[in-house]
Chains A and B, each alone.
Chain A
Amino acid sequence: MPDYSAIVLAAGEGVRLRPLTRNRPKPMLPAATRPILEHVFDQLIDAGIDEIVAVVGYRSDRVQSHFGPTYRNVPITYVSQEKQLGTGHALLAAESTVDETCLVINGDQIVDSRIVRDTIAGHEPDSAATLALLQRSSLEEYGGVVVDDGRVTDIVENPRDDREYFLNAGVYVLEPAMFDAVGGAEPRAGEHHLVDGLSTLIDSGETVRGVVSDGVWVDATYPWDLLDVSFELFDAGIVDGAQTQSGSPGASVHDSAVIREPVVVDQDCVVKPGAVVGPYVCLGENATVGSNAVVERSVVDADTRIEANATAIECVTGVGATIGPGSIIPGGPGDVRVEDRIFEDESLGALLADRVTDRGGVTYVPGSIVGPDVDVHPGTTVRGTIAEGTEVRS
């Protein structure tokens, strides 16, 4: 395999995942207990990549301080995209770091190393670009690709017609000519899109290949998708849900606590007597589950405390949130409101963004979304969407 460096696009906020992106970009949101981007890096390194260029922008310090200058001994170069004007614009920000064929990948979707390998193997020297394709039934939120005998003939965002489309997996092998194509493509709504650069290449008669692959490919569009993303990682074996008793460093699980696998308990976590954790629970670094609390089908991020006797089912938390003693998140389905849209019957008990403080005895109506730094007073009932910094009293 040739030595490719990988350009990882990790600059965008991921606005549809608000309010979880208040303090960090989408690539740093947890999939199980580790940032999405860390999974991306893992799969790249497993596929043989030995140099990573990370394009960072929104809340870049969170990416830089998490990974530092190397990850698993692979050096990371950081490139700053000051304003996030699309994936093509992000790619151009990294232009000076590469002068030959390179791999480009989205930093906010988890892609199997097999897909990366297949794309690299399928790239021919005579083609200007090669992209990874997947067979998926529903493509409405993503890019659709039409292929004719291995050559890409058309790329359509959010396809609605009934042609045969493959999903664009967001993994590309690109020749340097791509930078000019992206730079030359007309911006749409002020944004340069990477795929527009590909369309330009196709229109000018260059060969753009599509390699159909299979393997795990997961993406979170909305905050509650973090639950399914994490659960898929358990089911695919990418995250080991059976390692809880061997223990992460510094973690302690009381003998009388019940762990129902799959569960992942990250380092420094504390699970107190009588707690019931699982199945399908991810406890992020330094999280605490109090005595007799019940946690099921939930993604609990770092430093969060679930206090004694609380129940959290189908719950997503940001970092440093507190679910007070005896509070109840009874699980979905519930209707979720995101700005003007209502999503009906989503499997979401509640979402608590970074540093929500619930002081105990609080009941959450399924589908509740609680913004960062919200202070929920004891005994209240929470419903709907609550804005950042609000005080909720009964």
Chain B
Amino acid sequence: MCGIIGYTPAQTESQPNRDILDVLLDGLSDLEYRGYDSAGVAITNSSVSVYKRNGELSELEATVPDGSVGGYAGIGHTRWSTHGPPSDENAHPHTDCNGSVAVVHNGIIENYRELREELAAAGHEFDSQTDTEVIPHLIETSLDQGADVEMAFRRAIDRLEGSFAVAAVFSGSEAVYATRNQSPLVLGIGEDGYHLASDVPAFLDHTDQVVYLQDDQFAKLCPSGVEITDKRETLVDMPVKTVEWDPEEAGKSGYDHYMLKEINEQPRAIRNCVRGRVDEMTGSVSIKELDDLDRPERIHLVACGTSYHASLYAARLFRNGGIPATTFYASEYDASAVPIDEKTLVIGVTQSGETADTLGALRAANNERAETLTVTNVVGSSASRETDHVMYIRAGPEISVAATKTFASQQVALAMLSSTLTGECSHKFVEGLRALPGQIQSILDSSPAKEIVDTYANSDAYFFIGRGYGAPVALEGALKMKEITYKHAEGFPGGELKHGPLALVTDRTPVVAIVSGKSNAEKMIGNVKEVEAREAPVITVTDSSDTAENYADHLLRIPDTACQFTPILANVQLQLLAYWTANQLGRSIDKPRNLAKSVTVE
């Protein structure tokens, strides 16, 4: 759950060296979403200069020298703690005893305790509590034994077990050395020089030409070019791909927060998701990239966080269409203990395609010979490469840690997927899909969420209830609220309330109820009456004013649509409620404490 970056300027006569530091700091700021409790950079020339600081990137920027830092190449890191608390010492890069090699690392080294004991016994001194620090000392050991820098790097990597993307620089060397194993690493081929990073936005300002490094491949970024080799040191010719994302799309374009920008981008995201995949004249949905996917006997969905809630929604759609479907927390998916075979389709739902838990579950499913499918936003991501099939949700880059538009696009993509696999489709269904972007825009145009948060921002806790298709969205509404407001929030299926959680309901715990006139309205209103009797304020999200109005303190209306699309609309109101509450409380909305966008550790 960290971000790494590396840069070697191309060989030109006039290349000013100070560019290296600027390139690294700019790139790190684009990777901050991956973690931000500490950051650091290392620049190499005859020696290696390391600057690193606990805290946000601004702390590091205040630490680096103002003038030029001469050098050949550099690496950088933004950290989200896994081993050892955030501190200056635990920040990357880490160095060996002599300070002649600096290393940045994303991932987890599972055998670091043994390695550390072995190295300590040999007299190496450690400055940090991180797993990463074993790498520079392993490299030092090989260098002492006479290996050249490249060989020393390879030998050190060879000793590691676990998941990692690693980059290293050496004193007196012009190159950046890097490799990956089950952690993301991409190379950027620019005119000004050669880049590497955990994710493309880090160098998109400089180049849109990228190479996705594969597991166990090694990259050497020199002033003369990039050299990619496999484990046996054989040169590999990797395809260079053009990334089509607009680099500036990472800008906030006038919004106070990326989250609000992304909430407002949902109509556009859904248009992109649906485009070319529906035909209203024949009343059909077709997903070109999944033409060779047949109706499976059963479906397992594996996902985490917000994607898990989208998967719960999808499982209900599949079941309604006659395919047994179950959703699992990816971290709890035990492929050897559940019935699974080649007639089982295992769908991994992950925005980034790099979520370690989801990747782990998909790999387990691959081992059991299930058919596997990734539903993701990121083209070329690890998950997309490791499964039999991939469907892209086409939401465009999402910067805010709290997922909004990608959740909407996941729901829409999964609804289309369920329609193709179950054969449940109709003109009405296609019409409903095509109407969604405009309906979401109408909610964005008219939602009173901003006005009502004044009343509720200082509540003790928030409860979200829904039934049927509304139940997963109740969970998601609560997750969004807790992520960005730091307030206690929980979601339940409406019927579960009286089996325990009702004990927590008071006049200081607003209850947000999703009441659809299409299904379960009477039962939901029964649940609403239960909480009203405990004097809880009630905020009702509803498509039918007449039934719900009498039992709500505030109404958040959504347009009328088919019951399977109601949660997609209801969720927009819940997003706005969470956003404006967090805004009222002055929270760090785009980067909530302790959280990172793309969770690449298990």
Contacts and interface: CB of A to CB of B under 8 A. Distances in A.
A67 B248 CA distance: 11
A17 to B, nearest CB: 17
Nearest to B262: A65
Contact of B442 (A249, A273, A285, A355): A355
A76 B253 contact: yes
Given A23-B445, A319-B438, 13 more contacts: A60-B254, A64-B253, A64-B264, A68-B251, A68-B253, A78-B253, A80-B254, A252-B279, A254-B281, A273-B281, A302-B438, A303-B438, A320-B441
Interface stretch (B46-54, B268-276, B349-357, B458-466): B268-276
A132 to B, nearest CB: 28
Main secondary structure of the interface of B (DSSP, over half): helix
B148 to A, nearest CB: 44
A377 to B, nearest CB: 16
A286 interface: yes
A78 B246 CA distance: 18
A215 interface: no
B600 to A, nearest CB: 27
Contacts of A319: 438, 441
Interface in A30-69: 56, 60-61, 63-65, 67-69
Nearest to B266: A65
Interface residues of B, number: 31
Query: Which of the listed residues A56, A67, A78, A254 has the most CB atoms from chain B within 10 Å of its own CB?
Result: A78
B271 A61 contact: no
Interface in B399-437: 434-435, 437
Interface string A293-332: 0000000001100000000000000011000000000000
Contacts of B438: 286, 302-303, 319-320, 355
Contact of A65 (B264, B276, B442): B264
Contacts of A63: 254
A272 interface: yes
B268 A267 contact: no
A61 B444 contact: yes
A150 interface: no
A285 B446 CA distance: 21
A76 B267 CA distance: 21
A268 interface: yes
B281 A272 contact: yes
A286 B271 contact: yes
Contacts of B342: none
A56 B439 CA distance: 24
Given A64-B254, A288-B280, A303-B438, A249 B445 contact: no
Given A250-B275, A252-B279, A268-B271, A61 B264 contact: yes
Contact of B276 (A68, A76, A249): A249
A28 to B, nearest CB: 12
A8 to B, nearest CB: 13
B576 to A, nearest CB: 12
A249 B274 CA distance: 11
List 10 A-B pairs, minimum CB-CB distance, nearest first. A78-B254, A69-B251, A303-B438, A320-B438, A70-B248, A250-B275, A65-B264, A69-B248, A64-B254, A69-B253
B414 to A, nearest CB: 20
A354 B442 CA distance: 9
Interface string B246-265: 10111111110000010011
Given A288-B280, A319-B438, A355-B442, A65 B275 contact: no
Given A56-B254, A64-B261, A78-B253, A270 B442 contact: no
A286 B272 CA distance: 11
Interface in B139-194: none
Query: Which of the listed residues A67, A75, A250 has the most CB atoms from chain B within 10 Å of its own CB?
Result: A250
Nearest to A301: B438
B280 A75 contact: no
A268 B253 contact: no
B287 to A, nearest CB: 14
Contacts of A302: 438
Interface in B221-251: 246, 248-251
Contacts of A270: 280-281, 434
A23 B438 CA distance: 12
Contacts of A267: 275
A286 B434 CA distance: 7
Contact of A70 (B246, B264, B435, B441): B246
Contacts of B280: 270, 288
Contact of B265 (A65, A73, A80, A288): A65
10 contacts: A63-B254, A65-B265, A65-B268, A67-B253, A80-B254, A268-B275, A303-B438, A319-B441, A320-B438, A320-B441
A68 B248 contact: yes
Interface in B15-60: none
Query: Which of the listed residues B275, B444, B445 has the most CB atoms from chain A within 10 Å of its own CB?
Result: B445
Query: Which of the listed residues A61, A63, A67, A70 has the most CB atoms from chain B within 10 Å of its own CB?
Result: A61
A60 B252 CA distance: 13
B358 to A, nearest CB: 29
A56 B279 CA distance: 37
Contacts of A250: 275-276
Contacts of B281: 252, 254, 270, 272-273
Contact of A286 (B250, B276, B437): B437
Contacts of A56: 254
A78 B271 CA distance: 25
Interface in A56-101: 56, 60-61, 63-65, 67-70, 73, 75-76, 78, 80
A75 B281 CA distance: 40
A60 B246 CA distance: 22
A56 B254 CA distance: 9
Contacts of A64: 253-255, 261, 264
Nearest to A78: B254
Query: Which of the listed residues B271, B274, B279, B439 has the most CB atoms from chain A within 10 Å of its own CB?
Result: B271
A286 B430 CA distance: 12
A70 B253 CA distance: 8
A308 B445 CA distance: 29
Contacts of B271: 268, 285-286
A76 B275 CA distance: 27
A383 to B, nearest CB: 26
Contacts of A273: 281
B248 A320 contact: no
A229 B445 CA distance: 26
Contacts of B441: 23, 319-320
Nearest to A272: B281
Contacts of A75: 248
Contacts of B251: 68-70
Interface in A175-205: none
Contact of B252 (A61, A67, A69, A73): A69
A267 B267 CA distance: 14
A56 B274 CA distance: 30
Contacts of B252: 69
Contacts of B268: 65
Nearest to A249: B275
Query: Which of the listed residues B255, B264, B442 has the most CB atoms from chain A within 10 Å of its own CB?
Result: B442
Nearest to B252: A69
A285 B276 CA distance: 13
Contacts of A254: 281
B395 to A, nearest CB: 14
Contacts of B250: 69
Interface string B280-292: 1100000000000
A268 B433 CA distance: 12
Interface string B438-458: 110110111000000000000
Contacts of B434: 268, 270, 286, 288, 303
Nearest to A22: B445
A358 to B, nearest CB: 16
A273 B281 CA distance: 9
A369 B265 CA distance: 30
A39 to B, nearest CB: 19
